[in-house]
A and B are shown apart, each in its own frame.
Chain A
Amino acid sequence: MSDTKNKTTQSSAFDKKLNDFFIMIAGLWQFQWQFVKQIFMPPYEVEQVRKHMDELGIKTLPIVSVTGFIIGLVITMQMHPVMVRFGAEAFLPGAVGISIVRELAPVITALIFAGRVSSGIGAELGSMRVTEQIDAMEVSGVNPFKYLVATRVFACTFILPILTVYVIFIAFLGAYIAVVLVQNMTYQYFIDSVIKSVTFGDAIPGVLKTFVFGFIVGIVGSYKGYTATNGTEGVGKAATTAVVVSSLMILIFDMVLVKITLWLWPTI
């Protein structure tokens, strides 16, 4: 009897979670359409977008710098013995460069950006929602979606690719230092090897997909914050779930985008 009751409770909890998940997907879909519709309608909040880009860029710059440097350093140190095993030490800079440009820099920068920015947007908008600041804005004749959400999503979409390009260069610096540590290689040889191995065909899809990742971070963080309920508890939940959902979506979209890239350009 008690077993049946437990199973029923577990099943209804699962049903509720599944239901919540589909509600969230539908909500995100509507939310992004609203964004698409509103960005083309005046007034254009250029000043707000610039302000958010400044803030988001400055906020994430230190952490992505450290991470980019360490990634470049560690991936080179890890790959060195493998390349030695195959007698391909000379290809080390090229192999590291391709890994960084194609996958590591875009995805890791996006994940760090999600952790830092998506939660921040979720908490900020969530707090504004539960303290009626968004209602105050709406009732004063200002479109809060455009002023608060569209500007943040736009800023995230365009600042992440810039950060990614920056992280690629920082990671190369880390990689160069590792190369100097593990094998005697000149700066000139390192640069030449990277330039010879890494083509625009590697760099362009890698950087382009970060526009999608930036959009995901902005839209998920904004959606979670904008629809927050239940006071301070709701704000905390909005911040946490924003990070989890945006990180997961980045990884899923990465998989899909890599597949699409390889399907469209099989030779790259």
Chain B
Amino acid sequence: MNKVVEIKNLSKSFDSLNVLRNVSLTVEEGENMVVFGQSGTGKSVLLKCIVRLMEPDSGEIYIDNKDVLAMNLKQLNDLRKDFGFLFQGAALYDSMSVRENLEFPLIRHFNYTPEEREAKVKSVLEKVSLEEAIDKMPSELSGGMKKRIGLARSIIIDPKLMFYDEPTTGLDPITSKEISLLILELQKSLKMTSIIVTHDLLCAEIIADRAIMLNDGVIMKEGSISDLKSSQDPFLRNFFSHEIIQEHNRRV
């Protein structure tokens, strides 16, 4: 298997707060890697450092064996054309309709004809089961619909590498499960490599091939979800017991 993402000794701090400390991680091609951790442990910071929305203090990041931190803006933007990123709040452009949101990356990066663009838009909307929302504005959509449209906008360019920042946060259990299943389905059909930041155990169990637990800026455990859940480490036991109660409540 090829290493799609390779991170070596990544550190990031804000003033005196060390959010990430010498984090090293690899993600293989086609793999779904889940990043667990409590709120404020640097999960989103890790994602943002990988795509260089934030500059790390030290360390190395390679995507497809290319040194991301050594790239200039043009090289970075060329690389980013292969990324999909689902933000926590979906980050839909609120001055544009759903159609315009979906067309935006196509217009910017590809030379599709209007008919081809329309077909692409309809195709991704069908994948997220929201064909009827095509002419709506983001303000007219519910939280779950926004997440789906955000997902549709991310996959419309057929990304090789997908990043999810808390894809199910703020959603009810049923919608949360639907989104998780949708992510898995898209993952299988589009054969993407994904990094998913979440603390939703149900979502992780559906999606994850492998997971890491971030705590206090370091990776404290890496393995399958069952490895993490069966760990005897007091922190992991505490984290998952809480998550397990939440998951149990959801299932009930």
Contacts and interface: CB of A to CB of B under 8 A. Distances in A.
27 contacts: A124-B95, A128-B93, A132-B89, A133-B91, A133-B92, A133-B93, A135-B53, A135-B87, A135-B91, A136-B91, A136-B93, A138-B53, A138-B80, A139-B53, A139-B80, A139-B83, A139-B163, A140-B80, A140-B105, A140-B108, A141-B78, A141-B79, A141-B105, A141-B109, A142-B77, A142-B108, A143-B77
A8 interface: no
B85 A140 contact: yes
Contacts of B79: 141
Interface residues of B, number: 25
A132 B87 contact: yes
B140 interface: no
Contacts of A138: 53, 80
A131 B87 CA distance: 9
A138 B52 CA distance: 9
B51 interface: yes
B73 interface: yes
A131 B150 CA distance: 13
Contacts of A124: 95
B80 A141 contact: yes
Interface of A: 124, 127-128, 131-133, 135-143
A139 B159 CA distance: 12
B94 A133 contact: yes
B238 to A, nearest CB: 30
Given A132-B89, A135-B53, A143 B105 contact: no
Contacts of B87: 132, 135-136
Q: Is the interface of A mostly helix, strand, loop or mixed?
A: helix
Contacts of A137: 93
B88 interface: yes
Nearest to B86: A136
Contact of B77 (A127, A128, A141): A141
Contacts of B104: 140, 142
Contacts of B80: 138-141
Interface string B90-132: 0111110000000011001100000000000000000000000
B81 interface: yes
Contacts of B78: 141
Contacts of B91: 131-133, 135-136
B197 to A, nearest CB: 14
A141 B81 CA distance: 5
Given A139-B53, A139-B80, A131 B94 contact: yes
Interface in B5-25: none
Contacts of B77: 141-143
Given A139-B80, A141-B105, 12 more contacts: A124-B95, A131-B91, A132-B87, A132-B88, A133-B93, A135-B91, A140-B83, A140-B85, A141-B80, A141-B81, A141-B108, A142-B108
Contacts of B89: 131-132
Contacts of B88: 132
A131 B90 CA distance: 9
Contacts of A141: 77-81, 83, 105, 108-109
A141 B94 CA distance: 19
A9 B154 CA distance: 49
Nearest to B53: A135
Nearest to B165: A132
Contacts of A136: 85, 87, 91, 93
B207 to A, nearest CB: 20
Contacts of B163: 139
